[in-house]
Chains A and B, each alone.
Chain A
Amino acid sequence: AQSVAQPEDQVNVAEGNPLTVKCTYSVSGNPYLFWYVQYPNRGLQFLLKYITGDNLVKGSYGFEAEFNKSQTSFHLKKPSALVSDSALYFCAVRDGERINKFYFGSGTKLNVKP
């Protein structure tokens, strides 16, 4: 069965420090992985995706994610956090068989303090 786990409900980091938001997945077939961000009272916005190719994927707002097949992980990273990065982050995986079905993690709240 397809699933996504975000083990941390909340991540706290100081502005200027690197940040990591963790995601592990379980999927049959090749994984199609995504990160979305949700600001208060807004819908989710696409950040980046991994379909195939380089394990390090670069996305919007300076975010990147590293695909690790052996650890079935797709952690979101940013070298230097901004206060404006504070939001709710969701990892998602596309169903390997039913191509338009997506599974989302429970979300990780990122708090960046000045």
Chain B
Amino acid sequence: EAGVTQSPTHLIKTRGQQATLRCSPISGHTSVYWYQQALGLGLQFLLWYDEGEERNRGNFPPRFSGRQFPNYSSELNVNALELEDSALYLCASSPRTVAKNIQYFGAGTRLSVL
């Protein structure tokens, strides 16, 4: 069974540009989560999508947005990039069943903003 896949592995952008990150969840998982892992700050919750809808978002500005497609894959878009957006962006998926509670993570996309 394939795990959570993220693309690209690395992304280099300049200030003011837009970045698009992609995530494919494990087959059968309907929930997708996005996290930002900046150096020394642990994982910061960004967004949660389920069944195509944004269900919750963390304390990030509106220039962080995304969507979930009918096949449950997801995109994270970051507009007007700033230097401090440089981080590892992790995607996780889970079944919607509450009892599971476990998230399965991809290897991440490392975004560098120059």
A→B interface (CB under 8 Å): 6, 32, 34, 36, 41-46, 49, 51, 90, 92, 94, 98-107
Contacts and interface: CB of A to CB of B under 8 A. Distances in A.
A33 B90 CA distance: 20
26 contacts: A43-B4, A43-B92, A44-B43, A44-B90, A44-B103, A46-B102, A46-B103, A49-B101, A49-B102, A90-B42, A98-B56, A100-B31, A100-B48, A100-B56, A100-B98, A101-B45, A101-B48, A101-B56, A102-B33, A102-B103, A103-B45, A104-B42, A104-B44, A105-B42, A106-B40, A106-B42
A106 B31 contact: no
Contacts, number: 57
Nearest to B90: A43
Nearest to A99: B98
Contact of B41 (A32, A99, A106): A106
